[in-house]
Structure 1
């Protein structure tokens, strides 16, 4: 009898603690997260990544974290989004580190040509690998997660061989692609994705490196008609938070953010967006006036040999940043292989 009485007391105490914890979470001070990005509000990543993530954060925090999305460079230029999170212009931002070439040498590994073949598992692999470097390389912000898209050449004339790039003006997706274009004799046109269509229309650029479906969503399909059928490059992206904002959150709110800034979300966002981007190839193939340019296995081998020096440049940059570059690259390749995401 006594034992049952004590058991009942323990059960009541446990229930009280649980209710107290739930009450504390329910009473967390409401906060707003301004989430800035530079894509159109109608872009597939907005619908498949930003909006579901925001809704999930709001639900998990029982409404105490309200996420307000600011698309289309409303709060600042595309290349400024890392500094916007650092400076608190926005609490969270979506960043293309390759828009500031050389500033983030380690994450640039994800941009190496012909390295990543599958965006979902490739995103998870890059995110897992990069977490050991993020605290140092992106110390001004709180790193959330990384993901990638994969793209190719879209041009005013067919591109099948690296030798054709000599003398061409190409809008490069990121710093590593720009290095590759310089290596192959092309001139880089440095404009962000939202400005790319204008550069092509005005003849400032002859071709662009871009993922498949964004060619359509940015209206660039009106300016280029030839699309090389290969997995040429990847661009990596990071979601980052303003540190002071995160540090002031209640413990329950921090847990919600932490639960949404993990490897699972990296793979989920990378996979959803990557599959949507890849679907653009079939759309363009069915669109009058557009040509998917085939690349043979022999031609692909020529491309891969031509870009070898870019790998050596990355290793050198990683070494200069205080890391063991070749070992780091080997680790990334191993992570990609484990997830069957390598090229």
Structure 2
């Protein structure tokens, strides 16, 4: 009797094992969960239109082999200066961050943030992606699997009490800045460049700790800055750069089919979407300012050319300073960057 019981148990176990082996590999593969972080509110377009739809696409196309959790600014993993470090250390698997913070992390990339290099996000993003693809960014992304690089549209000066109609109007103001290239521009004009994460900007403006912010219409709308701002100078002066990077060990430990899926849904696949994304995100912030009756100051192309000439000494000085940060030929990279932006702009 014992023999029959054991035999039945054995046969049942064998049948179960055979059933598992007969299952499609995708069903018995272990689920890979990606921890994805960024430094903005969970309602921001970076999450709503980019990161979450991408992660959901991975989950769908992998038949559930890939799952995810997104950690925004309201989480312990949402600190702006830590995004790249968290990925490198394996604390998170994927992160979206601002290339200019902290300073010195991506000095080659910062060149695209200099005044009047980028006016449209699609041109700036394609130029930056080509620079990376052709190994012209000095190996500063060697610690990562790079999923995407991009810029936003040319950004504005937004202020509380003083309208900016000339660059000289910046003198004496405390302006929140997104990175070292913009810091250099502000300081050249006599302003104080203040670094702070988006989560602190509203309160700083409200309390008078800063007088304005250099940023996009998008961020102004996303964190409700129009509640405290009064003036917006649409000069399209600079464009900040962003990265989306992945831990290379996470990527390499994936099965080949999942690595292929990652590759097919990032990088070049994002490029055609960047311009429309920024058009949508910026439109909301601008319309809110208009609805509130705030003054939007449009700077003409002729005036922008004057400003660019005024800032030439600052640009030269900034490029020279990059040599101490490991950029061997900053002037050459600057010219190449401008050339690529113009190519894609046209």
TM class by shorter chain equals 0.7 to 0.9
Change (3 A) 1:298 1:95: same
Equivalence for 2:329: 324
What is the match of residue 307 of structure 2? 303
Please list the CA deviations of residues 8-46 of structure 1 after superposition, one character each: whole Å capped at 9, or x if unmatched. xxxxxxxxxxxxxx9555654320000011211111222
Return the alpha-carbon distance in structure 1 between the equivalents of residues 31 and 206 of structure 2: 46
Given that 1:36 and 1:73 are in contact with CA atoms closer than 8 Å, whether structure 2 keeps it comes out as no
Deviation by residue 1:219-270 (Cα, 9 ceiling, x = unmatched): 11111110012211111100011122112111111111122332231442x2
Alignment of 1:66-81 (within 5 A): 66-74=67-75, 75-81=77-83
Q: What residue in structure 1 maps to residue 342 of structure 2?
A: 337
Matched, 1:140 2:143: yes
Q: For structure 1, which runs of at least 5 residues remain unmatched after alignment?
A: 1-21
TM-score computed with the length of structure 2 as normaliser:
0.85
Partner SS, residue 106 of structure 1? helix
Task: Tell me the secondary structure at the aligned position of residue 99 of structure 1.
Answer: coil
Question: Larger Rg: 1 or 2?
Answer: 2
- Is contact 2:158-2:229 (8 Å) kept? yes
Q: 1:121 aligns with which of 115, 118, 123?
A: 123
What are the Cα deviations for residues 123-150 of structure 1, in whole angstroms up to 9, with x where unaligned?
A: 1221121231457202222211101113
Alpha-carbon distance between aligned partners in 2 of 1:309 and 1:48, rounded to the nearest angstrom: 39
Compared with structure 1, are the counterparts of its residues 171 and 118 closer, same or farther at alpha carbon in structure 2 (3 Å cutoff)? Answer: same
Picking from 263, 271, 278, the partner of 1:274 is 278
Q: Distance in 2 between matches of 1:297 and 1:110?
A: 20
Task: Return the TM-score normalized by structure 1.
Answer: 0.86
How many Å separate the matches in 2 of 1:303 and 1:189? 22
Distance in 2, Cα, partners of 1:337 & 1:25: 46
308-317 or 287-296: which moved more? 308-317
Cα contact 2:87–2:245 (8 A) shared by 1: yes
Number of residue pairs aligned between Structure 1 and Structure 2 = 320
* SS class of match (2:164): coil
2 CA distance for matches of 1:196 and 1:264?
Answer: 33
How many Å separate the matches in 2 of 1:134 and 1:56? 30
3-state SS, counterpart of residue 98 of structure 1: coil
Which sits farther off after the overlay, 196-205 or 52-61? 52-61
Query: Is the Cα contact below 8 Å between 1:38 and 1:77 reproduced in 2?
Result: yes
Name which of 254, 261, 269 aligns with 2:259: 254
Verify the 8 A CA contact 2:178 2:240 in the aligned structure 1: yes
> How far apart in 2 are the matches of 1:95 and 1:337?
25
Q: What is the match of residue 50 of structure 1?
A: 51
Residues 314, 325 of structure 1: 8 Å contact kept: no
**CA distance in structure 1 between the partners assigned to 2:271 and 2:109 by the alignment:** 14
| Whole-angstrom CA distance in 2 between matches of 1:289 and 1:249 | 53
Task: Write out per-residue CA displacement over residues 105-129 of structure 1, whole angstroms, 9 at most, x where no aligned residue.
Answer: 1111221111111112321221121
Shift of the alpha carbon at 1:191? 0.8
Partner-residue secondary structure (3-state), 2:130: helix
CA RMSD, Structure 1 to Structure 2 (Å)? 2.3
Aligned runs of 1:39-188 on 2, under 5 Å? Answer: 39-74=40-75, 75-131=77-133, 132-133=135-136, 136-150=139-153, 151-156=155-160, 157-188=162-193
Shift of the 203–185 alpha-carbon distance from structure 1 to 2, 3 Å rule, reads same
